[in-house]
Amino acid sequence: MIHTFKISLTIRGPFITQSSAPMDYGIDAALARNKNGTPYISGTLVTGKLREAWEELKELDNFKPNIINWLGEKSDPSQNDNLENTVSPTPKRLYINDLTLIDVKEKQEVNYRIRLDSELGSVKKGAYLVTERPFAPGDEIIFQGIARFLAHNKIEADSLIRHLEIGLKWLSQLGADRTVGFGELIGVKIESETVSIKNTETLPVSDIYNFVIHPESPFCISEHHKAGNNLFKSSDIIPGGVIKGTLATMWTTLLGCKNTIVNETFDAKRPELGKYFDRLHFTHAFPSNEQRPVQQPLSLVKTDDFYDIALCKGAGLIDKKAPAFSVDWKNDDYEKVNKIFGKPNVKREMRVRTKIDSEKRRSEDEKLFSYEMVVPMDDISWRGRLDLSEVPEDKRSQVIEQFQSLVAQGLTGLGKTKTYAKIELLHENSISSSQPSNLDIRDGFWILTLQTSAILCNPNSNDALFQSYTAIFNEISDNSLELVQFFATQSLAGGFYLWKRFQNPKNYQPYLLTDAGSVFVLKPKQEAIAKNFITKWAKTGLPLPAWAVKEYKSGDKDGNHWANCPYIPHNGYGEIAVNLPIHWNNNPGEKFISI
Query: Tens digits of per-residue pLDDT, 464-485?
Result: 999 999 999 999 999 999 999 9
Compute the distance between CA of residue 347 and CA of residue 522 in angstroms, rounded to an integer: 38
In this structure, what are the phi and psi dihedrals at residue 488, rounded to the nearest 5 degrees? -150, 155
DSSP one-letter string for 119-144: TT-SEEEEEEEEEE--S-TT-EEEEE
Q: What is the average pLDDT value for the chain, to the nearest integer?
A: 88
pLDDT at 257: 78
pLDDT at 137: 85
Q: What is the CA radius of gyration of the chain?
A: 27
Task: Report which of residues 340 and 59 the model is more confident about.
Answer: 340
Residue 399 has pLDDT above 50, yes or no: yes
Compute the distance between CA of residue 190 and CA of residue 403 in angstroms, rounded to an integer: 31
Compute the distance between CA of residue 286 and CA of residue 432 in angstroms, rounded to an integer: 12
Region 299-317: mean pLDDT is: 94
DSSP one-letter string for 469-531: HHHHHHHHTTT-EEEEEEE--EEEE--HHHHHHHS-TT----EEEEPTT-EEEEEESSHHHHH
Amino acid symbol at 431: I
What does the pLDDT look like over 236-271, one tens digit per residue?
Answer: 999 999 999 999 999 998 888 776 788 888 888 999
Instruction: Provide the phi-psi class of 196: left if phi over 0, else alpha when psi is between -120 and 50, else beta.
Output: beta
Helix, coil or strand: residue 331: helix
> What are the structural domains, with CATH classification, of the chain?
2-192 (no CATH), 208-293+346-430 (3.30.70), 446-579 (no CATH)
**Among candidate residues 519, 588, 520, the one with its CA nearest the CA of residue 317:** 588
Residue 23 has pLDDT above 70, yes or no: no
Q: Is 556 exposed, middle or buried (0-12, 13-18, 19+ CB in 10 A)?
A: exposed
Residue 445 has pLDDT above 90, yes or no: yes
Helix, coil or strand: residue 327: helix
The region of weakest confidence among 35-39, 296-300, 352-356, 401-405 is 352-356
165's enclosing H/E stretch is helix 154-170
Number of Cβ within a 10 Å radius of residue 165: 14
Contacts of 273 (CB under 8 A, 6+ apart): 267, 398, 399, 402, 403, 406
In this structure, what are the phi and psi dihedrals at residue 211, rounded to the nearest 5 degrees? -140, 155
Compute the distance between CA of residue 595 and CA of residue 587 in angstroms, rounded to an integer: 17
pLDDT at 476: 96
99's enclosing H/E stretch is strand 99-102
In this structure, what are the phi and psi dihedrals at residue 158, rounded to the nearest 5 degrees? -65, -40
What does the pLDDT look like over 32-83, one tens digit per residue?
Answer: 888 888 889 999 899 999 999 999 998 887 888 999 889 987 654 444 444 4
**Among candidate residues 389, 359, 372, 331, the one with its CA nearest the CA of residue 206:** 389
CA distances from residue 146 to 6, 46, 194, 341, 453 in whole angstroms, order as listed? 5, 12, 12, 36, 36
Residue 90 has pLDDT above 90, yes or no: no
pLDDT at 79: 47
Compute the distance between CA of residue 177 and CA of residue 174 in angstroms, rounded to an integer: 9
The region of weakest confidence among 80-94, 402-416, 425-439, 581-595 is 80-94
Residue 539 has pLDDT above 90, yes or no: yes
Compute the distance between CA of residue 326 and CA of residue 316 in angstroms, rounded to an integer: 16
Compute the distance between CA of residue 241 and CA of residue 236 in angstroms, rounded to an integer: 15
CA distances from residue 162 to 150, 223, 383 in whole angstroms, order as listed? 15, 38, 39
Compute the distance between CA of residue 12 and CA of residue 187 in angstroms, rounded to an integer: 9
Contacts of 97 (CB under 8 A, 6+ apart): 43, 145, 146, 147, 216, 217, 420
Helix, coil or strand: residue 588: coil
Compute the distance between CA of residue 421 and CA of residue 404 in angstroms, rounded to an integer: 14
Compute the distance between CA of residue 74 and CA of residue 271 in angstroms, rounded to an integer: 31
CA distances from residue 123 to 80, 131, 515 in whole angstroms, order as listed? 50, 17, 56
Helix, coil or strand: residue 374: strand
Number of Cβ within a 10 Å radius of residue 501: 16
The region of weakest confidence among 230-234, 309-313, 351-355, 467-471 is 351-355
128 within 8 A of 87, measured Cβ to Cβ:
no
What does the pLDDT look like over 499-518, one tens digit per residue?
Answer: 888 887 777 889 999 999 99
Residue 400: which pLDDT band, with cuts at 50, 70 and 90? Answer: very high
Compute the distance between CA of residue 202 and CA of residue 348 in angstroms, rounded to an integer: 36
pLDDT at 84: 45
Amino acid symbol at 23: M
Compute the distance between CA of residue 155 and CA of residue 160 in angstroms, rounded to an integer: 9
pLDDT at 169: 94
305 within 8 A of 409, measured Cβ to Cβ:
no
574 within 8 A of 450, measured Cβ to Cβ:
yes
Amino acid symbol at 157: A
In this structure, what are the phi and psi dihedrals at residue 325, rounded to the nearest 5 degrees? -80, 170
